[in-house]
Homo-oligomer: A and B are copies of this chain.
Amino acid sequence: MALIVQKYGGTSVGSTERIQAVAEKVKRYHDAGNQVVVVVSAMSGETNRLIALAEEISPRPSAREMDVLLSTGEQVTIALLSMALHQLGQDARSYTGGQVHIRTDSSHSKARILDIDGERVKADLDAGRVVVVAGFQGTDEEGNITTLGRGGSDTTAVAMAAALDADECQIFTDVDGVYTTDPRVEPNARKLDRITFEEMLELASSGSKVLQIRSVEFAGKYNVPLRVLSSFEEGEGTLITLEEEDVEKAKIAGIAFSRDEAKLTIRGVPDHPGVAYQILGPIGEANIEVDMIVQNIGKDDTTDFTFTVHRNDQAEALDILQKTAKELGAREVESDDRIVKIALVGVGMRSHAAIASNMFKALAREQINIQMISTSEIKVSVIVDEKYLELGVRTLHEAFGLDQVES
């Protein structure tokens, strides 16, 4: 008998019909001999309805009261799903975050889970009940209601699984698993049966939006096997686990990409120690996150410095950079948002130095000019002209044999 924690998002519980379908799915897992804890989000649309009410009253509502307001969304869903399970003859009981002692810090709207007391849930499971828990919410030490921020229900599910020492945490979404790349760009993209936590994190941070980064981090930290699968179709989905032993064969997990980048360059900066800080310090103070950074020594003891930011921050970053350029006596400043980032992700890179060069070779063969390169232990990212996005992704997908079934 396995203990499974399942999480269904807002779309999966977006209507009473869908809630009934979820109940049937949950009951099948229970009937197959599993103990099941279900974590649910608010019905899709409900959170926006509540936010609109708050906005009618206040342009900047108190974070504490927003949490009181928004946490009702999940509370509605847990009640309805429990009723739907009863209707199928399945004993079930709902709990708010506070009721199962999901203790968080007091950072309203972005609280972090500190502790979960699983005793009450275990007693219900042992009594043959399905336990339905409100995602996204908890209470702080003083009993104030808190919420975990966007994607918080995934985190609730993983934390619940860790607290209960569950055999698996299953995240039901509107996709049937994690793919080697976005199938809308590369029709040969293949669903992965398995992927490591690290690869999943790198894919997520490079634009693949299947799971929230925090929940993957959490699952990795507590070694909770995590599975992504579809609410609407049958299938095994993708299992996210600790690194496998046989990474010998230079395994590439997939290709992520992002259209949300903008590139800024400052040229002809008189080079001296501390110049990087002088350039990036004011950007960081404005709370703008910098992604890739490249510095080249130019001619005449000057340096060229290029970095990328989120496209939304481009205008503000450019303003700041122009001021800095004047102060430093730099020659010129440029900015370009007609670029994209493409990243190759896989734990196999660690032991196979040839992967990066193979990547550059494949892109060169298609005359795709690489503007920037950045590498991490299990990822190589390049910045290219946005017109090469699809061609670049497909080229790399084929070059690394990602359309081939894993042997």
Taking beta carbons and an 8 Å cutoff, which residues of A are in contact with B?
16, 19-20, 50, 53-54, 56-58, 61-62, 64-66, 68-69, 71-72, 75-76, 78-80, 82-84, 86-87, 93-94, 96, 98-99, 143-145
Contacts and interface: CB of A to CB of B under 8 A. Distances in A.
A252 B72 CA distance: 47
Contact of A69 (B65, B80, B84, B144): B80
Nearest to A71: B75
Contacts of A76: 50, 53, 69, 72
A65 B132 CA distance: 11
Given A16-B56, A57-B87, 9 more contacts: A16-B53, A19-B57, A57-B80, A62-B82, A65-B80, A65-B83, A65-B94, A68-B78, A72-B75
Contacts of A87: 57-58
A75 B134 CA distance: 15
A62 B81 CA distance: 11
Contacts of A61: 83, 86
A151 to B, nearest CB: 22
Given A68-B75, A75-B72, A143-B99, A54 B80 contact: yes
B99 A83 contact: no
Given A16-B53, A58-B84, A86-B58, A79 B99 contact: no
A129 B20 CA distance: 43
A58 B94 CA distance: 16
A254 B145 CA distance: 47
A377 to B, nearest CB: 45
A57 B18 CA distance: 10
Given A57-B19, A99-B143, A79 B83 contact: no
A154 B76 CA distance: 24
Nearest to A78: B68
24 contacts: A16-B53, A16-B57, A19-B57, A54-B80, A57-B80, A57-B84, A57-B87, A58-B84, A61-B83, A61-B86, A62-B82, A62-B86, A64-B93, A65-B83, A65-B86, A65-B94, A68-B75, A68-B79, A68-B94, A69-B76, A69-B79, A99-B143, A99-B144, A99-B145
Contacts of A94: 65, 68
A88 to B, nearest CB: 10
Contacts of A145: 96, 99
A144 B82 CA distance: 14
Nearest to A54: B83
B53 A80 contact: yes
A58 B75 CA distance: 17
Given A50-B76, A72-B72, A75-B72, A83 B98 contact: no
A42 to B, nearest CB: 10
A294 to B, nearest CB: 47
Contacts of A84: 57-58
A94 B116 CA distance: 24
A58 B20 CA distance: 10
B72 A54 contact: no
A22 to B, nearest CB: 11
A84 to B, nearest CB: 5
A39 to B, nearest CB: 15
A76 B65 CA distance: 9
B79 A66 contact: yes
Contact of A65 (B16, B54, B79, B144): B79
A65 B86 CA distance: 10
A138 to B, nearest CB: 14
B83 A57 contact: yes
Contacts of A98: 98
A64 B79 CA distance: 9
Nearest to A93: B64
A66 B75 CA distance: 11
Nearest to A144: B99
